[in-house]
Amino acid sequence: MAPRTLPVERFSARTLPAGLAHTARRVPDRTFLRFLDPARRDQPAREVRFSDFRQLVCRAAACLASAGVGPGVRVLLLAENSPEWQAVALAAQLLRAEPAALFASLSSPAVVDIARRVRPRVALLSSSEQWAKLAPVAAELGRSGLNTVLTSEPAALSGLPPAARVLALASAVGEGAPALDLAEFEARAAAVGEDDPFLLLFTSGTTGRQKGVRLAQRSLVQALDAGGVTTRRTEHDVGLHLLPFGHIAGHDQFALALLQGHSLILIAHRDDLPRALALGPSYLFSVPLVYERIRSRVLGQLEHLPGPLRALLHAALEAATRVRVEQRGSWVDRVLAPLADALLGRKVRAALGGRVEGLFAGGAPTSEALFRFFEALRIPLVDLYGMSETAGLISANLFEGPRRPGVAGLLTPDHEVRIAEDGELLLRGPLLLTGYLEPEDAQGAYTEDGFFRTGDLVQRDAEGWLRIVGRKKSLLVLSTGKKVPPEPLETALGSTLPFEGAMVLGDGRPFVAAVVFVPREELARISAGGADPAQALLPVAQEAVAGFSDYEKPKRLLVVPGTPADYPELITPTFKLRRAAVLDMFHAQLPALFG
């Protein structure tokens, strides 16, 4: 019997502009976006209907066209999430140009490097702070073609290229601005082809400079053909959109809502998460870190309860895990499991807004502990696996169907799949990028017969379930000859209290050690008792990886106060630790750690 793959249902629209045209005709008055504008936190969410968003795209397209944007031209987007961000991106696609998406949190050197490579005609900037990142190369960008800057703060920009115009975003694409008429919009949307540009994205840069990934319309839509069935969202859903538009998963969620016709609660800053949850979303899509923090908060609160009640709730949660995740359990477990719902599940659901049907995770592995926690409380946690080069989808678990802890799910049938002798996953098919921005970045990225090298080491069982073992580039080879993929260990450690993140080290060393991030208040508590935190926490770390081989378990810890977010130089925009940066920061401590 052939291995199982994800089910697929094809959307009638095969490009995003065509999808917008179709949905805006079908449900023009339905609310598409409820945007929580961080500049107007004292006001209710701004509501944008599908017809409103279509008109916003028409105004943005007229603005871009007046700047000479067309096929072969690039538009740079360096801004936090907003309806205007997506309107400008869709307008560029409508004109068959190429929008280039940057994380708004990028440092000035990273922005300068990317902008030089992109050479945009138009730049969308959310603030003068974003312009300050580009200002060092303003003259150079002007010589290479930059003629228009769209921003909400035009008066605050200085040092612009002589020939460049600055347009206030509100007047350039707001009510009353010039716009394509509906007939021209429809004609242009119909003319966009599947091989026309969707987006130019930049990888997170965990192991080097950020590569420019060029995606076509077909890549995105075919990812959604399987993603729509995987998530089982409908036009009646209200999704909470958390991920930045520099992240491919943020576009997958946005585009799925656009094609299906369901609503999104859109936020620009995570500080607005409580306001967004109060609006009652039916689902969330985020990196696992957000869900890990919810789980940590709940488990942390349990520790402050009286001993008997704390023991009862832990027992109920463990019983619910056995019954609902492992599909086993005694009669005592079946009696205790409902207590987990009544005493914990109800509170977690209320904290998530009260209407959440499921949680979707992408961008990083989901730990087994995290999966078991939410599934035990009858809150489905659906893991999706992909990368920028595959439009965000390689495999996924199923919202309506089997889900397994620790696996990346079933592969989409739109990928032709091969697993190399060393375990690397190789892919070929229509979801893949059309190429990198610079041809040199493609060197070594493909096999001789055209399979893309994902860099991920995997295992696939006879039924078709995919398990990620680790990253080929980060594989640790101990001086004993043993090979250790660090990612599963790091996921297990990072999901165990009190650790807030971890990086496993040991390449060329006789054993494995780990850098762990621990909240300062926890370290103060340990130190107040006279203990050394590295020694006191080592048994906790080893218990977290009890299921691994002995040579894989950390023998020593380097404890770092705080969370990875406290050290911006160590993390990517998607909150992944940069291995080289961690090694560099703690270089002086490594001899003692391995001594």
Q: Confirm if 67 and 121 have CB atoms less than 8 A apart.
A: yes
CATH of the domain at 589: 3.30.300.30
Q: pLDDT grade, residue 39 (50/70/90)?
A: confident
Q: Is the pLDDT of residue 576 over 90?
A: no
pLDDT digits (tens, 9 = 90+) for 517-538: 999 999 999 999 889 999 999 9
Q: Is the pLDDT of residue 216 over 90?
A: yes
Q: Is the pTM of this model over 0.75?
A: yes
Does residue 100 fall inside a structural domain?
A: no
Beta-carbon contacts of 187 under 8 Å, excluding residues fewer than 6 positions away, are: none
Beta-carbon contacts of 384 under 8 Å, excluding residues fewer than 6 positions away, are: 227, 230, 249, 360, 361, 362, 392, 393, 395, 396, 397, 409
Does residue 285 fall inside a structural domain?
A: no
How many folded domains does the chain comprise? 1
Longest dimension (CA), the chain: 78
Q: pLDDT grade, residue 207 (50/70/90)?
A: low
Does residue 280 fall inside a structural domain?
A: no
Tell me the backbone φ, ψ of residue 201, rounded to 5 degrees.
-110, 160
Please tell me whether residue 260 adopts helix, strand or coil conformation. helix
Please tell me whether residue 105 adopts helix, strand or coil conformation. coil
Q: Confirm if 362 and 287 have CB atoms less than 8 A apart.
A: yes
Residue owning tokens 């795209």: 57
Q: Is the pLDDT of residue 299 over 70?
A: yes
Does residue 528 fall inside a structural domain?
A: yes
pLDDT digits (tens, 9 = 90+) for 86-113: 999 999 999 999 999 999 999 899 999 9
> Whole-angstrom Cα distance, residue 96 to residue 17?
10
DSSP string, 465-512: EEEEEEESTT-EE-TTS-EE-HHHHHHHHHTSTT-SEEEEE-TTSSS-
pLDDT digits (tens, 9 = 90+) for 323-362: 999 888 899 899 999 999 888 998 899 989 999 999 999 9
Q: 295-304, 393-402, 412-421, 450-459: which range is least confident on average?
A: 295-304
Does residue 520 fall inside a structural domain?
A: yes
> Whole-angstrom Cα distance, residue 485 to residue 289?
21
The range of the structural domain enclosing residue 569 comes to 476-594
> Whole-angstrom Cα distance, residue 403 to residue 541?
27
Q: Is the pLDDT of residue 208 over 70?
A: no
pLDDT digits (tens, 9 = 90+) for 15-35: 999 999 999 999 999 999 999
pLDDT digits (tens, 9 = 90+) for 219-277: 999 999 999 999 999 999 999 999 999 999 999 999 999 999 999 999 999 899 999 99
Q: Is the pLDDT of residue 191 over 60?
A: yes
pLDDT score recorded for residue 307? 87
Does residue 228 fall inside a structural domain?
A: no
Does residue 531 fall inside a structural domain?
A: yes
Does residue 554 fall inside a structural domain?
A: yes
